[in-house]
A and B are shown apart, each in its own frame.
Chain A
Amino acid sequence: MTERRHTSSHYEKELQEIKDGLIYLGALTEQAIEKAIRSLLERDSDLAKKVIESDCVIDNKDIELEDRCIRLLALRQPAARDLRFITTSIKIVGHLERIGDMAVNIAEKAIILNELPQLKPYIDLPRMAELTRAMIHESLDALIKGDIALAEEVRKKEETVDYLNDQIFRELLTFMLEDTRTIHRAVIIMQISKNLERIADHAKGVADMVIYMVTGKSVRHMPECGA
């Protein structure tokens, strides 16, 4: 009896470690995005370099977490809720790792932009970055609390980010039409905006996985391809 309780409590601990690991990874990616955007706004290339360097921390954590998940699957053969939690964790880890990569992309673009004169004051870009960062934060909040309503909210925010991305595109288009010398910088800014938009997609993916984990219902590709 004691032996059994001991093993099951050990199992609980392993599950908790995965959960904590996900939050840790989420916090790392949040930080990466925040720093990448700050390196752009404050024209701080050193900060951008730090973001690029620290991506390997995210990558290592990604590998470690995936490993833990797979080992738990193999050794404990979890069922029902636990199985859903572990499989979704694997997917969430994937999403978060991609977000980290995109933060690196943004930092790389920031380094290039910092070498050039500023095209215009950034207004929508920081808003977009803040929104995407909040999306990651809230999707992980939803994971901790098992809060589906919060996950749904995250899913809605993705539309706002899309809208901001379109707006930035239109604005930059007018710049480029007026003055061809701005094209280089405008294209880079567009890439940054696109990266943020992709990050938001991944954050939405995390929220989707949370909904699946809690309810067992898949909301991916909805409403686009949903019945």
Chain B
Amino acid sequence: MKSRLFLQIFGTYLFLILLTTLVVGLFVGQHMRGVLEDRIEEDLLTYARLIETGSSGGLKANLKTLAEISGSRITIIDAKGTVIADSEIVPPGTESHLNRPEIQEARVKGSGRSIRLSRTQNIDVMYAAIQSKTAIPGGYIRLSRPLNVIGESVRDLNQSLLVSILILGIVSILIAVIFAYRLAMPIKEMELFTEKLREGQAPGSLFIKGGGETQKLARNINYLVEELESRIRAANEEKGKVYAAFASMVEGVLVLDSRNHIETCNRAFSKMIGTRFGDIKNKTLMEAFRNIELQNAFDRFESTGEPLSREIHAGSTDPKILHVSISSIEGLPHEDRKTMLVFHDITMLKKLERMRADFVASVTHEIKTPLTAILGFIETLQEGAIEDRETARKFLEVIGRQAKRLNRLIDDLLVISNIELGEMKFYFEVLSLGEPLNTALSIMEIKAREKEIDISKDLPENLPLIRGDRDRLLQIFLNILDNAVKFNPRGGRIDIKAAERGGEVEVRISDSGPGIPQSEIPRLGERFYRVDKTRSRELGGTGLGLSIVKHLLIAQEGRMEIESRLGHGTTVILYFPMYKDISV
């Protein structure tokens, strides 16, 4: 794997070099053999002619010397083919030489040659012969020389060729290495670079030496990397923004994947439903929430494909009313289709809506009751009861009482609506709570005495001063004391204590009445809310007393707490912030 490209280039080079040298070597060797053979033949024939012309008489005697000088074997053959003399074989054999190819060729052309294996020496020998005219008329002079000289020359040539091939090979391999390396290295570098890039590392930029195409390619790669990095950065930033918006949304968001499994949800959703994402991840809506209304809404969305909004009820322990909008996320391919569910918690809104409706119903009911009584008695009077003075007086009393109640109700409603609309005027002054409390007590005393209720009070002389409206404070205490007297049984008791506690003035007003169930306490202070509906109305309450107290307290920065146990009486605790004199 290590630089395959390099091996390929180098291998090709090597192969080409070897092939060339082999072909050249073979061809040169072959050619040289032919050339040398021709030269030897020439030599031999020349010698033969020299012998023919130069030695007329003592040919036989000089044969040995001639053979030595020419470096060849000399055979003299007569016209019949009989060997007359031979420089090497003495005495010559009697075998006829006429059928030898070189002799036959010489008889026809004047000279002839033949190469064949010598029987005695077992090597190739060249025979060259000429027809003699003068020395031995009609005979032949034949010279022969062993050819192993040529073999040696060719071997020598081959050897020197091999050496040169080796040198050439080494040099060309070196060149090939360098060339292949220079070509393959930048490509290898680019490969490593892109590899790093793919693995998500920041590889910096690519630097390639030299010029030409590779450097251009490297420059383009650098440019692409830069572009890619800036795009990724931009995408990440965008993603971060979208995610931040998604996470910090007040609405709960749930995203389903193409198989309708939960893909993701935001924090608001987890909080709204009271579930962790891990518990609902990859589940279907039905698996995760088991909510029939939600499933119905989703099925409807699935069948129509139209975005839709519904109200659903969720949660058994902490019931909630949620408004859900279902729509598919736009701009995704069909097989990657996603669905988004957006939830609004409208529990409070629904509660307020109901309270308003309840209020209207309550007001009409509260007004209707005394009016019905008044109208009824008037009708009875009109139908003749007026003649009976005693009955008429009783009826008129009832009518008066109901009319007063109606008046009281309307007064209370006016007070509340004035406070709520912010139209009530407060005349703030710095005062001690003891004053309005004592005034309220003196007003309530008569009523309390009628029911034989014992009132005890524990008001310290040096009660801290507060800032408030004297008349409104009086109204607060009157309302609470009125309740205490109203709901106390005959002969009960009321305890009033005031003290400073933690920067606030605390006033506790306890009665010994029937008490209020724990579950009802949070609802006290709601308009027309009554714990015991029938009894309260009998006692002449409007159902607005504590509501007014609550609103007046808020306007004077105070607050109210109620403690109660069934059968053990009720304690109303009022807190007022202490007045801090800035000027001193």
Which A residues are within 8 Å of any B CB, using their own CB?
Answer: 9, 12-13, 16, 19-20, 23-24, 26-28, 31, 137, 140, 144
Contact = CB atoms under 8 A, between A and B. Distances in A.
B300 interface: no
A140 B284 contact: no
Please classify the interface of chain A as helix (H, G, I), strand (E, B), loop, or mixed, using the class held by over half of its residues.
helix
A13 B259 contact: yes
B292 interface: yes
B189 interface: no
B291 A27 contact: yes
A23 B284 CA distance: 11
A27 B259 contact: no
Nearest to B291: A27
Nearest to A20: B286
B287 interface: yes
B457 to A, nearest CB: 43
A16 B283 CA distance: 10
Given A9-B259, A13-B259, A16-B259, A27 B292 contact: yes
B287 A19 contact: yes
Interface string B250-286: 0000000001100000000000000000000001111
Given A9-B259, A13-B259, A16-B259, A24 B287 contact: no
Given A20-B284, A20-B285, A20-B286, 16 more contacts: A12-B259, A13-B259, A16-B259, A19-B286, A19-B287, A20-B287, A20-B295, A23-B286, A23-B290, A24-B295, A26-B290, A27-B286, A27-B290, A27-B292, A31-B292, A137-B290
Nearest to B285: A20
B286 A28 contact: no
Contacts, number: 32
B284 A24 contact: no
A187 B195 CA distance: 82
B259 A23 contact: no
20 contacts: A9-B259, A13-B259, A16-B259, A19-B286, A19-B287, A20-B284, A20-B286, A20-B287, A23-B286, A24-B295, A26-B290, A27-B286, A27-B290, A27-B291, A27-B295, A28-B292, A31-B292, A137-B290, A144-B283, A144-B287
A19 B259 CA distance: 14
A32 B147 CA distance: 122
A36 B14 CA distance: 95
A12 B258 CA distance: 13
Contacts of B286: 19-20, 23-24, 27
A143 to B, nearest CB: 9
Contacts of B260: 16
Contacts of A144: 283, 287
Contacts of A26: 290
A79 B260 CA distance: 25
A12 B257 CA distance: 14
A51 to B, nearest CB: 14
Nearest to A19: B287
Contacts of A31: 292
Interface in B358-377: none
A12 B287 CA distance: 15
A13 B259 CA distance: 7
Contacts of B295: 20, 24, 27
A74 B151 CA distance: 91
B142 to A, nearest CB: 88
Nearest to B299: A24
Contacts of A9: 259
A20 B295 CA distance: 9
Contacts of B259: 9, 12-13, 16
A23 B295 CA distance: 10
Contacts of B285: 20
Nearest to B258: A9
Contacts of A27: 286, 290-292, 295
Contacts of A24: 286, 292, 295
B346 to A, nearest CB: 22
Contacts of B283: 144
A148 B284 CA distance: 21
Contacts of A16: 259-260, 284
Nearest to A137: B290
Interface string B231-267: 0000000000000000000000000000110000000
Nearest to B287: A144
A31 B285 CA distance: 18
A71 B362 CA distance: 58
Nearest to A23: B286
A23 B291 CA distance: 9
Contacts of A12: 259
Nearest to B284: A20
A3 B578 CA distance: 80
Nearest to B290: A27
Nearest to A31: B292
Nearest to A22: B286
Contacts of A19: 284, 286-287
B254 to A, nearest CB: 16
Sorted nearest first, the 7 A-B pairs with minimum C-beta distance are A20-B286, A23-B286, A27-B290, A144-B287, A27-B292, A20-B284, A23-B290
A24 to B, nearest CB: 6
A13 B260 CA distance: 9
A165 B290 CA distance: 29
Interface in B163-202: none
A26 B287 CA distance: 11
A173 to B, nearest CB: 33
Interface string B280-324: 000111110011100100000000000000000000000000000
Contacts of B290: 23, 26-27, 137, 140
B283 to A, nearest CB: 8
Contacts of A28: 292
A153 to B, nearest CB: 18
Interface string B473-494: 0000000000000000000000
Contacts of B284: 16, 19-20
A176 B287 CA distance: 46
